[in-house]
Amino acid sequence: MVTYRSLSELEDAHDQERSAARMRIDTAEQYIGHYRSRITRVAEEAYGLGAHKGVVDDPGFRAELRRVTDTSSENVAYTGRRIGELEDEYDAMLREQDEQRERFLAERHDAD
C-alpha cells in the first residue's frame, strides 16, 4: 500500500486513476461507435452492390448479409456488456477512493 504525505497528494493520485479509467471507458465507447458506423456502411454498400448485380433476393446473399449483421450485433452487445463492466469497476474504484480518503483523514486526526 502506498503511503501519501498529504491529502493533496492522495487526491492527485485519485484524480489520475479516475482520469485513466474514464479514458478507457470513453475510448471503448468511441471505438464501438466507430465499429457500428463502419459495419453499417459496409452492409449498405454490400446491399447496394447486390442490388446493382440483381442478387438482393438471392437466399444465399440474404443469408450472408444477415450473418454479417448478426455477428456485428453480437459484437456490439458483447462490447456494451464489457463497457458496463468497466463502468461498474469505475464505480467500485470511486467507492474505494472515498474509503481511502476517509481512512487518511481519520489517521491524520488520530495522529494530531
Which pLDDT value is given to residue 82? Answer: 97
Q: What is the pLDDT of residues 60-86, one digit of tens each?
A: 999 999 999 999 999 999 999 999 999
Q: Is the pTM of this model over 0.75?
A: yes
Residue 112 is predicted with a pLDDT of 67
Residues 6 or more apart from 65 whose CB is under 8 A from it?
Answer: 43, 46, 47, 50
Per-residue model confidence as pLDDT tens digits over 18-65: 999 999 999 999 999 999 999 999 999 999 999 999 999 999 999 999
What is the 3-state composition of the chain as percent helix, strand, coil, each rounded to the nearest 5?
A: 90, 0, 10
In sequence order, which residues have a C-beta less than 8 Å from that of residue 80 and are 6 or more positions away?
32
